[in-house]
Structure 1
Amino acid sequence: MELVCMESAPKVQRAYPDHTLLSDHRVLQNLLLTEDRYIPRISYFKCVQKEIEPNMRKMVSFWMLEDWEIVVLGKLKWDLSVTTPNDFIEHILGKLLFAADNLELIKKHSQTFIAMCATDFNFAMYPPSMIATGSIAAAIHGLGIRCNDLTDESLTELLAKITCTELDCLKACQEQIEAALTESLKQSQQQTVSKTVHEPDLTSTPTDVRDVNL
């Protein structure tokens, strides 16, 4: 009965993280070995789906998130047990010395970055472990949280070592994630401004007919 979920009623019923699995280095190594089997080849969209243009891929990824995604994946015979960036989050964070509150905050931001990467084809060629590591690095950098006395450079080196990632590749991935976030926020602000401009501003309506400019 030790596997019974013990969270209180208002919360989502989920099992606690298995510390045995998270502390076993073999689990992380198996994830790193498994992810190589599922990375899409560069030539996929050139040889298999030629009708999918680069500007259409983000739209396609959104469609895949709809209710019929299971049917489509079944028809395509895609493996749903593929290793994803989220599989690495707990393993990586478990090797970093942060307070529990900070770890939870970093985890939430990292998952947001991972979700953003999932809809951007520019990240399709990155292995899941690199996207996870880059998202964690971007989250820590954006939140300004310090890990003991480690500098940003030392922390990035530690993250690269944990997932056996090349340091330069990890830095490039992190920078691309931060750039994608900046662009996403910019587009969101532009949409907000555009919506505000098209809405009638009642407060600026002249109250005196003489103030109306014909």
Structure 2
Amino acid sequence: MESSLMCWEAETELRAQADPVLLQSNVLQHLLQAEHRYIPSATYFQRVQEDIHPYMRRKLINWMLEVCEELRCLEEVFPLAVNCLDRFLSLLPVEKTRLQLLGAACLLVASKLRESKPMSTETLCMYSDYCFTDKELRAMELLLLNKLKWDVEAVTPHSFLPHFLKLLNIPEENVNQVRKHTETFIALCTTDCNFIALPPSMVAAASVAASVTGLQPENLGVSCSSTAITIYLARSIRCDPSVLRMCQEQIEISLQSSLGEAQRIRSHNSKSVEEIERSSTPTDVLDFDL
């Protein structure tokens, strides 16, 4: 009798299915009205920050993305954390020595909002190579929440993604493929300073349009052309189609730049390995530790 009442936990984590009610048009309109409250300042590097520069932001955000990928976080965690970061930097100057601490605090808050098992302070301290302590991270988390007035449930591009996928009526078997490509473009936009002040709806719409264009509508079972899809998505977010098209082109430029940078890094790393291998021969050894 007792054994029949035993309940075993599933080995894999189960997640609730999306509620169809949340995909109704009135929800999309509410998101469009609310998104402007969470858009950071486009000029905070010039007007607020004295010690922080765009290349530092990019380096920090790449680290934040690596942490999210290593911990297999939900895709929404990373954009939400970066939104908190940019909004905080729009309000308060930060010393560069505390920038990674701020990024870790943003990850901590975002994971608490989106994950059933949020990141721990110990894990974040470890990924920072112990540049800060658990106590410092907790203090920064509290400062972040206070400065953002605890309004951290921001509208991000991921908030619009289910709506756009539904509007395009993509066949079920191809939805996941389009989603994955779109999430990659959203992550790319999140790391690029050129997209900081763009509305999340525009970033999401342009990312979806770029994904469908790259995968080719006819291969996805979509009857509309790429141009028609861009126009349709632009109208759904009350945006000029030419503006959305420019955003889509900027995403494609950013993608090419990112791929070129990755290729240069791989080339540099391969050259470094070759130099190490050559210098390992006895004739190339210049220093002896006797």
TM exceeds 0.5? yes
Match of 1:105 among 153, 172, 177: 177
For the aligned residues, what is the CA RMSD? 2.6
Take 2:102 and 2:259, find their aligned partners in 1: how far apart are those partners?
22
Match of 2:143 among 52, 65, 75: 75
Aligned match of 2:70: none
Preserved contact between residue 217 and residue 225 of structure 2 (Cα < 8 Å): no
SS of 1:15's equivalent in the other structure is coil
Q: CA deviation at 1:172?
A: 0.9
Query: 2:256 aligned with 1:182, yes or no?
Result: yes
| Percent identity of equivalent pairs | 36
Query: 2:169 aligned with 1:169, yes or no?
Result: no
Take 2:35 and 2:46, find their aligned partners in 1: how far apart are those partners?
22
Q: CA deviation at 1:141?
A: 1.2
Q: CA deviation at 1:168?
A: 1.3
Closer/same/farther in 2, CA of residues 12 and 141 from structure 1, 3 Å limit:
farther
Q: Deviations over 1:49-92 (max 9, x none)?
A: 23322332313434478543345454132231110000000011
Take 2:101 and 2:255, find their aligned partners in 1: how far apart are those partners?
22
Q: CA deviation at 1:192?
A: 1.4
Aligned match of 1:49: 49
SS of 1:107's equivalent in the other structure is helix
Closer/same/farther in 2, CA of residues 42 and 66 from structure 1, 3 Å limit:
closer
Take 1:64 and 1:174, find their aligned partners in 2: how far apart are those partners?
33
Aligned partner of 2:32: which letter? L
Q: TM-score, normalised by structure 2?
A: 0.61
Please give the residue correspondences for 1:83-122 in structure 2 after superposition, counting only pairs within 5 Å: 83-122=155-194
Take 2:236 and 2:141, find their aligned partners in 1: how far apart are those partners?
32
Please give the residue correspondences for 1:185-200 in structure 2 after superposition, counting only pairs within 5 Å: 185-200=259-274
Take 2:141 and 2:44, find their aligned partners in 1: how far apart are those partners?
16
Closer/same/farther in 2, CA of residues 34 and 60 from structure 1, 3 Å limit:
same
Match of 1:132 among 200, 204, 212: 204
Closer/same/farther in 2, CA of residues 113 and 74 from structure 1, 3 Å limit:
farther
Q: Deviations over 1:154-177 (max 9, x none)?
A: 111111112222211111111111
Match of 1:153 among 193, 216, 227: 227
Take 1:163 and 1:66, find their aligned partners in 2: how far apart are those partners?
30
Aligned match of 2:283: none
Take 2:216 and 2:161, find their aligned partners in 1: how far apart are those partners?
19
Q: More helix by proportion, 1 or 2?
A: 2
Unaligned runs of 5+ in 1: 1-8, 205-214
Closer/same/farther in 2, CA of residues 44 and 105 from structure 1, 3 Å limit:
same
SS of 1:182's equivalent in the other structure is helix
Aligned match of 2:3: none
Take 2:268 and 2:203, find their aligned partners in 1: how far apart are those partners?
32
Aligned match of 2:37: 37
SS of 1:141's equivalent in the other structure is helix
SS of 1:199's equivalent in the other structure is helix
Q: TM-score, normalised by structure 1?
A: 0.81
Unaligned runs of 5+ in 2: 1-9, 65-99, 110-137, 279-290
SS of 1:94's equivalent in the other structure is helix
Take 1:185 and 1:43, find their aligned partners in 2: how far apart are those partners?
27
Count of residue pairs brought into register by the alignment: 196
SS of 1:97's equivalent in the other structure is coil
